[in-house]
Amino acid sequence: MNIFGWLNDQLLRMQWLADLVTAGVSAAGLDPTSRLGGSVQFFVYDVIKIFILLSVLIFAISYVQSFFPPERTRRILGGRSGIWANTLAALLGPVTPFCSCSSIPIFIGFTAAGLPLAITFSFLISSPLVDLASVILLASIFSWPIALTYVVVGLVVAVVGGTLIGRAGMEKQVAEFVHSVPVQDSDHAMTRSERLSFSRDQVVEIVHRVWPYVLIGVGIGAAIHNWVPGEIITALIGQDNWWSVPVATLVGIPMYADIFGTLPIAEALVGKGVGLGTVLAFMMAVTALSLPSIIMLKRVIKMPLMLLFLTVVTGGILGIGFTFNVITDWFI
């Protein structure tokens, strides 16, 4: 085995932890190959793994993100336009600290500073969609090719979606007050200790926020993994059904879960023969669109632009779902 493969198995997939938990389950008198033992093994292993990865990843990623506050991202993007500007916006999305509660202030701040809608939307689509921590978790649960392909298609959706929205010429569909907002630029550079404490705070805050979703997600995953017959799942959302992707997307959109909670469900579903595209469409729908964020967005943009945004993102997710289902065999 090569070094990279070993590191990947032990650090990212945490094979040692899986072995340890299996041994623990056996020691507790449960057969890990039995239904109950298997469920317990899946639950304990996944919960511990996700929390370890989550803490380490959020810390590292927050440190990187501390270099790209929204003010700086806005300066970088200022005065640019065209497809490369969209690409740059899509790339900056994942490295700018973002939470759904600050997406509206960012939208206002960008638009007020004169950034075109095309650029702002590329940023707003990629920021939740191409979440760095979830990408690495994807690599841990599935594989690096799947994670990297996810990043690429996520960026493509952001670039294409932003461009389409820009082409529609909907500048008038933004709430009037947005244009009269003053643009303030802060030039406060963080010190290293500020970055470290920022990263630590992010870990505490995010773990605090997502732990119920992770437990519920892993619980559902463990149940699917061992208790739901594969035939039922494949009959409902199996690869051969054309409706699998639309159903997964529609179910995912109103859901306000966290990507970290959906990953274990995705893992269990793929294990039962559900297409990778269906599962990715579900995850993307959950993260890119949610009812609370749509309601908030409605306060700063008018209906036509809102509908265009929803159509473009939903269309992108459906496209990805169908494409991935066709090429699933390349990965698994």
Which residues of this protein are in contact with another protein, per CB under 8 A?
69-71, 74, 97, 99, 101-102, 104-106, 108-109, 112, 175, 177-178, 181-184, 186, 198, 201, 205, 209, 296, 299-300
Q: Which is nearer to another protein, 205 or 240 (CB)?
A: 205
Q: Which is nearer to another protein, 36 or 190 (CB)?
A: 190
Q: Which is nearer to another protein, 148 or 204 (CB)?
A: 204
Taking each helix axis from N to C end, the angle separating 35-65 and 259-271, rounded to the nearest 10 degrees, works out to 140
CB of 130 to another protein, least distance (A): 19
CB of 105 to another protein, least distance (A): 5
Q: Which is nearer to another protein, 3 or 185 (CB)?
A: 185
Read off the DSSP letter of residue 174.
B
Please say whether the beta carbons of 231 and 240 come within 8 A. Answer: no
Q: Which is nearer to another protein, 30 or 207 (CB)?
A: 207
Quick count: other Cβ atoms within 10 Å of Cβ 13?
18
Residue 130 region by backbone torsions, left for phi larger than 0, else alpha for psi between -120 and 50, else beta: beta
- Token readout for 70 is 């929204």
Helix (H, G, I), strand (E, B) or coil at 114: coil
CB of 97 to another protein, least distance (A): 7
Quick count: other Cβ atoms within 10 Å of Cβ 63?
16
Please say whether the beta carbons of 320 and 288 come within 8 A. Answer: no
CB of 73 to another protein, least distance (A): 9
Sequence-distant (6+) residues with CB within 8 A of 200 are: 59
Nearest to residue 233, comparing CAs of 270, 267, 277? 270
CB of 290 to another protein, least distance (A): 14
CB of 181 to another protein, least distance (A): 4
Calpha distance 88→10 (Å, rounded): 34
Q: Which is nearer to another protein, 120 or 149 (CB)?
A: 120
Which uninterrupted H or E stretch holds 226?
helix 192-227
